[in-house]
Amino acid sequence: MHSDYFGVVDCNHLKQMKIECNNTVDFVDGWSAKGLCRAVGEAGSIVLTAHSNADGDAVGSLTAMYAILSRVCQAKLTPMLPDGCPDDLLWLPYTDVILNGKKDIDSCRKAIEEADLIVCMDLSTLERTGVLADSLQGAKAKRILFDHHENPDRGSFDLVVSDPDISSTCELIFWSISTAFGREVIDADAAKSLFTGICTDTGTFSYSNRQRSLYLAAAELSQMGIDPMDINRQIKNVFTVNRLKFFGHAMSELLEVYPEQEAALMVIRKEDMERYGVESSELTGLINEVMKLHMVDCAVLVREEDDRVRLSLRSKCHTDVNELAKSLFGGGGHERAAGATSHLSLADTVKRVKQRLGLLLVAVIACLTMVSCGDVPVIDVQPDKGDTLKENLINANRYIAHGEEQQIDSYAQRRGWKMERLAGGARVMETRVGKGPAVGYEDELVIRYRMEAINGTVIYDNVTDTVVAGRMQPTRGLDAALRTLREGSKAWVILPSEQAYGVAGDGDRVKSRMILVYEVEVLRCLANKKQNKKQK
């Protein structure tokens, strides 16, 4: 292509593309389309790379950029990945020319040394390029970054194209390349790769995304000679027998679920993977299987590697896993998907994760309630707030109570419920105002209710019961809520465990420390007969 293409871009075309893209995507770094064109046009040798343990967005970005640059410049292109392309993405175009940083390290280093331009994709820092990091950091070439993670390391790059609110790096490349070079340079191969990255990073459009640009980009790409249905089949139907068996083993044996905390934790040791003959790259998608559990809002997958421990974090609604990853090991990512790296031992890493999620304290209290006082070991739950077992128990109970308050508030907020908080912590929201007498102390009530755990599990349904107000029947919290209602009233009631069945449960379906959600109706309210006689 003529060199003028890179130095002088058709201003009218560029202006039109910028208006179209800027109405859709906020390129937060104010990058220069002309600067991108010039850098590509002046380069004689270009290295393309992405992060280690590459996923669909990383491989899609890499192969799409290879396809695009092959059309717009004459430079020598060398695509590489720190640990190669995972087997389940080898069906993408140009994966056969990708160098493996571990197996082809000499070739990778030579290409980096000779490069005029290095284009990095889907990583916020060069440290994420694993075995290639030192060579990339020491390279004399100009460096460009395309990324959608928060707080990219701008100091390591000459030009940064970034939007942390966008769905994927592949979508970011679609808009930025359209702006700089025109949409006609995106051929069917590039479109296939870009669409794949968008699908994998959004869980086939099932994860939250703040911008309409996702659907506009997908619609455009779907008309560029690709088969979206076939791509979706390729993404999902790539399991080997060993990988499928390992997923089953992981879900049945390695998964810990904490319904009351709406959390899940999966810990994978090297020996687990070796037993089934799977590589770490084959674990892609495992955490998404965990997120299918309706009672889980936040999931953490902890994976042991040779010299480090990797963490993958996901959430659905109210857990900001980007902040969680930062607080754990200085990781990051997005509000709903993030990662981190720990250089502690696997045991210490898991301990820190459990402490941060409030799971360790719950486990300790559950353990203490199962043994007699004479058998209780000295456990240092929170040493900075007390060095005796009594103080630790008090601190732990406060911690759990605070956690339950947060869960209840989040639950009500997600449903748009404006609830009244009673003195003991029970919440009540009247959905139908009764026309009968107000419930008074010692009144006999006939009620009908449905009881669920806060994770949505139905415990009792359509139960009719007779209780006496003021006698804490059937529980302290429900009794307090009933005394705010009238005959004919219907209400939602949420009880923290201390206002429900506490540590002991009800001996049947209500387990230890369950937060309960009631839908309750006051069918009849019979006034206290003794009080009536006194009034007469």
469: tokens are: 């107000």
Q: What angle do CA 153, 71, 43 make, to 5 degrees?
A: 50
> What residue spans of 379-517 are helical by DSSP H?
389-415, 476-482
pTM, to two decimals: 0.61
Radius of gyration of the chain (CA): 29
How far does CA 249 lie from the centroid of its chain? 22
Q: For residue 51, how many other CB atoms are within 10 A of its CB?
A: 28
434: tokens are: 């009764």
| Contacts (Cβ under 8 Å, ≥6 apart) of 406 | none
The CATH fold assigned to 241-357 is: Diaminopimelate Epimerase; Chain A, domain 1 (3.10.310)
The CATH fold assigned to 420-534 is: Chitinase A; domain 3 (3.10.50)
Homologous superfamily assigned to 4-236? inorganic pyrophosphatase (n-terminal core) (3.90.1640.10)
> What residue spans of 183-269 are helical by DSSP H?
188-201, 213-222, 228-236, 241-249
Distance separating the N- and C-terminal Cα atoms of the chain: 103
Helix (H) or strand (E) holding 306: none
pLDDT by position in tens, the chain (length 536):
333 333 333 334 334 444 444 444 555 555 678 888 888 999 999 999 999 889 999 999 999 999 999 999 999 999 999 999 988 899 999 999 999 999 999 999 999 999 999 999 999 899 889 899 999 999 999 999 999 887 888 889 988 888 888 889 999 999 999 988 999 999 999 999 999 999 998 888 876 566 788 899 999 999 999 999 999 989 887 788 999 999 999 999 999 988 877 889 999 999 999 999 998 878 888 998 999 888 888 999 999 988 889 999 998 877 888 888 888 888 887 788 888 889 999 999 998 898 888 765 444 444 444 443 333 333 333 444 444 555 655 666 676 778 888 889 888 988 889 999 998 899 999 999 999 999 998 899 999 999 999 888 889 999 999 999 988 888 999 999 999 999 999 999 999 998 999 877 887 888 888 899 999 999 999 876 444 444 44
Residue listed under structure tokens 């203490």: 368
Cα separation of 188 and 205, whole Å? Answer: 21
Cα separation of 400 and 362, whole Å? Answer: 7
Domain assignments of the chain as residue spans, ordered by start: 4-236, 241-357, 420-534
